[in-house]
Amino acid sequence: MSGWPGGRFGLVRGLILGDAKRHPLSLLLTVLGVTLGVAVVVGVDTAVDACTRGFAASVRSIVGDTSHRIEPASGTMADEAFAELRLAMPDLLATPVIDRRVRILPLEGAPEGEPTRLGRIIGLDVLSAADVAADQGIEEALEDASFQSFIAEPGAVVMVKPLAERVGAEVGTRLRVDMGDAVRSVHVVSIIELEPPARSTVTDLMVADIATAQELFSMPGHLDRVDIAPRDDAELEAVRGVLPVGVSVRTLDDAAGAIEELIGAYRLNLLALSFMASFVAVFIVYNATLIGAERRSGTLGTLRCVGMRSVGIAGVFVIEAAVIGLIGAAVGVFAGLWLASGLVELVSATIGDLYTRVNPVEVSLSPVSAAKAAVVGLVSALAGAAAPTVLASRTPPMSAFRATERADRSWAWSMVLALAAVGCLALAWVFVVWPQGSIVGAFAVAGFTATGFALVALPATKVASALASVLAGGHRSGRALPPLLAARGVGRSIGVTGVAVAATALAMAMNIGLLTMVGSFRHAVLTWLDGRYQSDLYIAPALALEHRVPATLSPELIAAVEAHPDVAGPVMPYRHVNIELGGLPALLTATDLRRTLDGGLLQLVDGDTRSALDALDGEPPGAATPVYISQPLAVKLGFRPGDTISLPAPEEPFPAFVAGVYTDFVADRGTVLIDRTVFRAVWHDDGLNAAHVSLEPHARGEGAAARFADVWGAEFPVVVHDHADIRSETKRIFDRTFRITDVLAWLAGLVALFGLGGAVLALAASRTRELATLSALGMSRGQLLARSATEAALLGLTAWVLALIAGSALAWILADVIQYRSFGWSFPLRPAPVSWGVALAFVVAAAVVGGLAPSLLVRKDTLVRGLGDE
Amino acid sequence: MTTDPTDAPGADVVLESVSRTFGRGDAAVHALRDVSVSFAPGSSTAVWGPSGSGKSTLLHVVGAVDVPTSGRVVVGGRDLAAMTATERTVFRRREVGFVFQAFHLVPSLTVFENAATPFMLDGLLDAERREMVGDLLDRVGLGDKLAKYPDQLSGGQRQRVAIARAVVREPAVVLADEPTGNLDERSGREILELLAPHRARSPMTLLVATHSPDVRDWCDAVVSVRDGCVAPEDDRREPPSFAETLAEAAR
């Protein structure tokens, strides 16, 4: 700025820098507000980005030149499909692939408590893979002296160096690996370092020959997919022409981008929450600019008198806001990266819990994120400064910010704002009742509601100040001078105080809304859990429970369980298969539907059990197969009882009718529940992902899970849980899922606290003369503190009352509009008194900050300086 | 219950070797230099001198708004330097009335509330005192503007409120810092005329910082202040002209 010409710009520079030097604390709090707003947006964006890029990297970097995948609609595909493809198109670059996660058990003699490690085994056809995956260094590894043992030796794998270091493996080491249904031994024949960028993103890989992989995963004759690299569109079309029924070709971009579709709603929710902090920051900048304009009103009025144009005045504030925005953005980027490194673990864990396992890449700032930060910082600062700038530049010279005019106008403005608030809330309602409500519409509801309550904050503050004035003024002895001054002060500076209330109320409302929604959701999930999980024991693969990786139980285990004398009857089987339904990823769950319905395990929100039971009994003869659809899927695809749907089966699409819609909180992508007898016949799949076990009465009770874990866990890699375990595990996952929500809500609260603190400090600073006068007249320090604290408490209490109403409204919107439209979940709301207390703590904190403000500002010489005329 | 000092006589004011320096080293400004002067109880004195001579600082140290760097200020036999901060606050509230050039009314209080502030600060605004404040404002010609706010008044009206506030509690000392500086000649004279009847009723000691000859002549005595020092004799020279002040500044 020093290079600016000394004329017009010099004047602007002087006005900006002069004020900044005189009021550094106000400036600091404003910049901090913008910084935090930017940091939260960048933090969330970068953390989610690291996860999706990690997923994309794990898809891309293994496969080298391949651009497409041939995949089955669900489950696995027969390797004859690959053989036929080879036969039909011998020149096609293609390799069969088995790609699975495994659990690596600690080495023999490892210290007690050593954790199991997650790994990934990719089975490739060595010869064809050498053509396809040429650039990853795997080829060199395969050409190594260990090639013979790699091909010939059972369980031989090539391991990447980072994984070898983590598990303590060397060439020749034999490792016990949990494949999901059984623990098998693998032999490390070579340790390789991949080429960048795979070196840093693929850190958990073991490569095996395809035959070895089929053996390890007990899937002889089956593949997960075939990776191909067609040279042109014609070759791709030719591939499509020879594919058998039930498999399809997807581009790798689709596969890598699938995560975006899968987590779209989750990402949108996080981003919307993250923007809340920026929204609050807008109010802070508004306040800072307004106060700055008031502070400089004399100077600006004089400049207007001597001929400075209103556009020049506007320029001062626009440049000031832009500088604040850019500084906030620059600092916010770094704060955001720091925040992202903390959030990435939470985000990846949640994505793993809800959708699919991701290994996030290292958090780094992309040019897009940097640009976003600059835009968020600039937009929030400029948007906040807009109204005060217009006000400052348009006011006639002699009346610039004269208190009387402001006071007169504030009631009129309050009425206008109240009407605007009603308009916003009405618009929100329109979006609620809009027939085809989308997720974006749901956020519009939240946005209009938040804006409506923000607008209503000004008239509400005005009314609160008037009421408090009447109460304080009614004290005949005059002892209530500090509260009277506080109440009147709030009312007279409504432009500042009302906006501070708006910012605080919004942040507190967000806290109340989120805590109420999360608390209600948690209660609903646990209630649902109690209804759904009524068995005594639950058996699942350790791989699935420890690392959230889909895995199946060994048939031998199921046989052993059912043969145990303490087990009452056959297990309740559960098989989960990923399918695509109506263009959306979904889960097909096969179970004993009759027992499920008879046992009342489903909480139906629509439909009945009769039609399904009749159909299972073959009534009427030839009746279609009944399925139950989870609420999230029914909401997204608009399914209702009686609808017919087409399920992607291996041979041909399989028709079924929707018998009912049930409450389900397992996954937001939705579940189709089908009878396992039908599933086994049509999908040719006998696998089980979980088994629920009922015990004989004498065998029930505390310790049963541990007892049976000792029995079955010794032989199979399984975890045996009882109801209490499931409940605590669910609670753990639930709380982890919403921890990031808490973090974001608190950050928005922190921004608001900066805003309120800044507003109270700035108010105190702008009243230095008044403070000095009152002090000269004999107002004690205690009375001064009482006045400021009362002012802050009045602001805080107004914000609190407003936040209770707005928070309840937001809770309803979050639960019944946003959650419902994003994930398809609905649940009854329960009041969360804790959140009211937390919000009240904000008020107390604000009152303390407000009460301390004068002692920070009234120094020894303030009295004399404050009484000066200049 | 606090002691109502409405019966307090005008206090004698004694300054002994009072100095007040702002800043340090080369940047130090000596607002008062070794000032020794006394003011008799019930007297009215014009503290006379050009801008920046130290008049306001002298009033500030007498009113316990500021603390001298050295020396003693004794008002009504009480050494201000020996007082705690709280005692000085109570002293200002009960025994001093201030009138400022820029009025310094509290913008969020009405005319009545501004005038009643000294009582309100002590919680003493009972019915009797309400009537007293009302009567006083009536006498200064603001009986019909009790519910108005300061920014709804003219400069002269605001200064009348400030004077009402300064004398309402009949303090021992009234300190007026350029009370007519922001007013035209006629309004200024009216302000002085307002002070006279109060002085007649209550023997307050009045110190008026001014460079107005009218105000100076209106007072019983004159103390001249130049460059932070009190002139040895009654120095009634006119303050320097603007050109002289500029030349002084240039030097």
What is the predicted pLDDT for the residue at B8?
A: 46
Q: What is the spatial distance between Cα A823 and Cα A651, in angstroms, rounded to a whole number?
A: 31
Contact B92 A783 (CB under 8 A): no
Q: What is the spatial distance between Cα B138 and Cα B116, in angstroms, rounded to a whole number?
A: 13
What is the predicted pLDDT for the residue at A135?
A: 44
B23 in contact with A, Cβ within 8 Å: no
CA distance A1 to chain B (A): 29
What is the predicted pLDDT for the residue at A658?
A: 92
Contact B120 A403 (CB under 8 A): no
Q: What is the spatial distance between Cα B250 and Cα A290, in angstroms, rounded to a whole number?
A: 39
From chain B residues 118-157, the ones with a CB under 8 A of any chain A CB are: 118-121, 123-127, 130, 149, 151-152
Q: What is the DSSP letter of A818?
A: I
More confident residue, A809 or A316: A809
A869 in contact with B, Cβ within 8 Å: yes
What is the predicted pLDDT for the residue at B9?
A: 56
Task: Look at residues A828, A786, A569, A523 and name the one whose alpha carbon lies nearest to residue A693.
Answer: A569
Percent of chain B's residues with pLDDT above 70: 85
What is the predicted pLDDT for the residue at A143?
A: 60
Q: What is the spatial distance between Cα A693 and Cα A599, in angstroms, rounded to a whole number?
A: 14
B104 in contact with A, Cβ within 8 Å: yes
Contact A485 B123 (CB under 8 A): no
Q: What is the spatial distance between Cα A540 and Cα A335, in angstroms, rounded to a whole number?
A: 41
Q: Which of A484, A769, A778 sits opposite B89 (nearest CB)?
A: A778
Amino acid at residue number A808: S
pLDDT-wise least confident of A40-44, A75-79, A863-867: A863-867
Q: What is the spatial distance between Cα A319 and Cα A331, in angstroms, rounded to a whole number?
A: 18
What is the predicted pLDDT for the residue at A3?
A: 41
Residue by residue, DSSP assigns A773-817 as: HHHHTT--HHHHHHHHHHHHHHHHHHHHHHHHHHHHHHHHIIIII
A855 in contact with B, Cβ within 8 Å: no
pLDDT over threshold 90, residue A284? no
Amino acid at residue number A128: S
Chain A residues close to B60, C-beta within 8 Å: 864, 867
Q: What is the spatial distance between Cα A484 and Cα A482, in angstroms, rounded to a whole number?
A: 5
Q: What is the spatial distance between Cα A534 and Cα A237, in angstroms, rounded to a whole number?
A: 51
More confident residue, A179 or B5: A179
More confident residue, A348 or A299: A348
Q: What is the spatial distance between Cα A577 and Cα A862, in angstroms, rounded to a whole number?
A: 74
pLDDT, chain A, mean: 80
State CA B228 to chain mean position distance. 18
Quick check: B106 and B149 in contact, CB under 8 A?
Answer: no
Q: What is the mean pLDDT of residues A39-58?
A: 81
CA distance A372 to chain B (A): 44
- Name A654's Cβ contacts closer than 8 Å, sequence gap at least 6: A625, A646, A647, A648, A682
Quick check: B178 and B206 in contact, CB under 8 A?
Answer: no
Q: From the DSSP assignment, how many helices (H) and strands (E) are in chain B?
A: 8, 10
Q: What is the spatial distance between Cα A354 and Cα A263, in angstroms, rounded to a whole number?
A: 9
pLDDT over threshold 60, residue B251? no
Contact A404 B100 (CB under 8 A): no
Chain A residues close to B152, C-beta within 8 Å: 404
More confident residue, A860 or B98: B98
Tell me phi and psi for residue B230, to 5 degrees.
-90, 130
The predicted-structure confidence for B159-177, as pLDDT tens digits, reads as follows 889 988 998 888 999 999 8
Chain B residues close to A777, C-beta within 8 Å: 92-93, 98, 117-118, 121, 165
Q: What is the spatial distance between Cα A820 and Cα A160, in angstroms, rounded to a whole number?
A: 43
- How many other β-carbons are positioned within 10 Å of the β-carbon of residue B125? 25
Q: What is the DSSP letter of A831?
A: -
Q: What is the mean pLDDT of residues A451-476?
A: 83
Q: What is the spatial distance between Cα B230 and Cα A751, in angstroms, rounded to a whole number?
A: 55
What is the predicted pLDDT for the residue at A862?
A: 57
Q: Is B251 helix (H, G, I), strand (E, B) or coil?
A: coil
Chain A residues close to B151, C-beta within 8 Å: 402-404, 407
Chain A residues close to B120, C-beta within 8 Å: 478-479, 481
B113 in contact with A, Cβ within 8 Å: yes
Q: What is the spatial distance between Cα B245 and Cα A276, in angstroms, rounded to a whole number?
A: 58
**Most confidently predicted of A11-25, A368-382, A748-762, B132-146:** B132-146
Q: Which of A477, A484, A867 sits opposite B100 (nearest CB)?
A: A867
More confident residue, A140 or A378: A378
The predicted-structure confidence for A496-516, as pLDDT tens digits, reads as follows 788 788 888 888 888 888 888
Q: Write out the two tokens for B54.
A: 């130290």
Q: What is the spatial distance between Cα A43 and Cα A59, in angstroms, rounded to a whole number?
A: 24
State CA B129 to chain mean position distance. 23
Test the A interface: residue of B32, B58, B84, B89 with most A CBs within 10 Å:
B89
Contact B123 A479 (CB under 8 A): yes
Residue by residue, DSSP assigns A287-320 as: HHHHHHHHHTHHHHHHHHHTT--HHHHHHHHHHH
Tell me phi and psi for residue A858, to 5 degrees.
-85, 95
Quick check: B65 and B88 in contact, CB under 8 A?
Answer: no
Tell me phi and psi for residue A408, to 5 degrees.
-65, -40
What is the predicted pLDDT for the residue at A399?
A: 47
- Which residue in chain B is spatially nearest to A478 when comparing CA positions? B120
Q: What is the mean pLDDT of residues A28-51?
A: 83
Contact A776 B65 (CB under 8 A): yes
What is the predicted pLDDT for the residue at A2?
A: 41
Q: How confident is the model at residue B1 (pLDDT cuts 50, 70, 90)?
A: very low
- Name B51's Cβ contacts closer than 8 Å, sequence gap at least 6: B211, B239, B245
What is the predicted pLDDT for the residue at B17?
A: 92
Q: Which of B89, B124, B151 sits opposite A478 (nearest CB)?
A: B124
The predicted-structure confidence for A488-500, as pLDDT tens digits, reads as follows 888 887 777 887 8
Q: What is the mean pLDDT of residues A192-204?
A: 73
Q: What is the spatial distance between Cα A340 and Cα A348, in angstroms, rounded to a whole number?
A: 11
> Hey, what's the torsion of the CAs at A366, A371, A377, A380, to 10 degrees?
-120
B28 in contact with A, Cβ within 8 Å: no
pLDDT over threshold 80, residue A627? yes
The predicted-structure confidence for A718-750, as pLDDT tens digits, reads as follows 888 888 888 888 888 888 878 877 777 777 777
More confident residue, A393 or A120: A120
A477 in contact with B, Cβ within 8 Å: yes
Q: What is the mean pLDDT of residues B41-51?
A: 87
- Name A158's Cβ contacts closer than 8 Å, sequence gap at least 6: A138, A141, A142, A146, A150, A188, A189, A190, A191, A192, A206, A207, A208
Residue pairs spanning A and B at CB distance below 8 A: 93
Tell me phi and psi for residue A488, to 5 degrees.
-65, -40
ipTM: 0.82
Residue written as tokens 């919307």? A272
A436 in contact with B, Cβ within 8 Å: no
CA distance A791 to chain B (A): 13
CA distance A390 to chain B (A): 24
Contact A477 B126 (CB under 8 A): yes
Q: What is the spatial distance between Cα A827 and Cα A88, in angstroms, rounded to a whole number?
A: 54
Q: What is the spatial distance between Cα B120 and Cα A331, in angstroms, rounded to a whole number?
A: 48
pLDDT, chain B, mean: 82
- How many other β-carbons are positioned within 10 Å of the β-carbon of residue B12? 18
**Strand B29-39 with B13-22, pairing:** antiparallel
pLDDT over threshold 80, residue A593? yes
What is the predicted pLDDT for the residue at A628?
A: 94
pLDDT over threshold 70, residue A139? no
B93 in contact with A, Cβ within 8 Å: yes
State CA A400 to chain mean position distance. 46
Contact A863 B65 (CB under 8 A): yes
Contact B108 A485 (CB under 8 A): yes
Contact A770 B89 (CB under 8 A): no
Q: What is the mean pLDDT of residues A836-850?
A: 77
Quick check: A507 and A749 in contact, CB under 8 A?
Answer: yes
Claim: this prediction has a pTM higher than 0.95 = no
Q: What is the mean pLDDT of residues A7-19?
A: 69
Q: What is the spatial distance between Cα A446 and Cα A452, in angstroms, rounded to a whole number?
A: 10
What is the predicted pLDDT for the residue at A784?
A: 82
A409 in contact with B, Cβ within 8 Å: no
Q: Is A644 helix (H, G, I), strand (E, B) or coil?
A: strand
Task: Look at residues A601, A539, A603 and name the one whose alpha carbon lies nearest to residue A573.
Answer: A539
What is the predicted pLDDT for the residue at A541?
A: 87
- Name A143's Cβ contacts closer than 8 Å, sequence gap at least 6: none
Q: What is the mean pLDDT of residues A330-356?
A: 83
Q: Write out the two tokens for A430.
A: 């329109």
A474 in contact with B, Cβ within 8 Å: no
**Strand A654-662 with A625-630, pairing:** parallel
Quick check: A863 and A776 in contact, CB under 8 A?
Answer: yes
Contact B66 A864 (CB under 8 A): yes
CA distance B165 to chain A (A): 9
Contact B121 A778 (CB under 8 A): yes
Strands of B76-234, DSSP E: 78-79, 96-100, 173-177, 205-210, 221-226, 229-230
pLDDT-wise least confident of A162-171, A348-357, A784-793, A812-821: A348-357
Test the A interface: residue of B121, B146, B167, B174 with most A CBs within 10 Å:
B121
What is the predicted pLDDT for the residue at A345?
A: 83
Quick check: A384 and A283 in contact, CB under 8 A?
Answer: yes
> Hey, what's the torsion of the CAs at B32, B38, B44, B50, to 10 degrees?
-20
CA distance A290 to chain B (A): 19
Cα→Cα distances A132→A56, A62, A228, A229, Å: 18, 10, 8, 7
Q: What is the DSSP letter of B147?
A: T
State CA A468 to chain mean position distance. 42
State CA A621 to chain mean position distance. 48
Chain A residues close to B117, C-beta within 8 Å: 481, 774, 777
Q: Write out the two tokens for A569.
A: 């009857």
Helices assigned H by DSSP within A202-309: 210-216, 233-242, 252-262, 264-295, 297-305
B116 in contact with A, Cβ within 8 Å: yes
Q: Which of B100, B104, B123 sits opposite A477 (nearest CB)?
A: B123
- Name A602's Cβ contacts closer than 8 Å, sequence gap at least 6: A532, A596, A609, A628, A660, A662, A663, A673
Percent of chain A's residues with pLDDT above 70: 83
Task: Look at residues A678, A638, A679, A692 and name the one whose alpha carbon lies nearest to residue A661.
Answer: A638
- Which residue in chain A is spatially nearest to B167 when comparing CA positions? A777
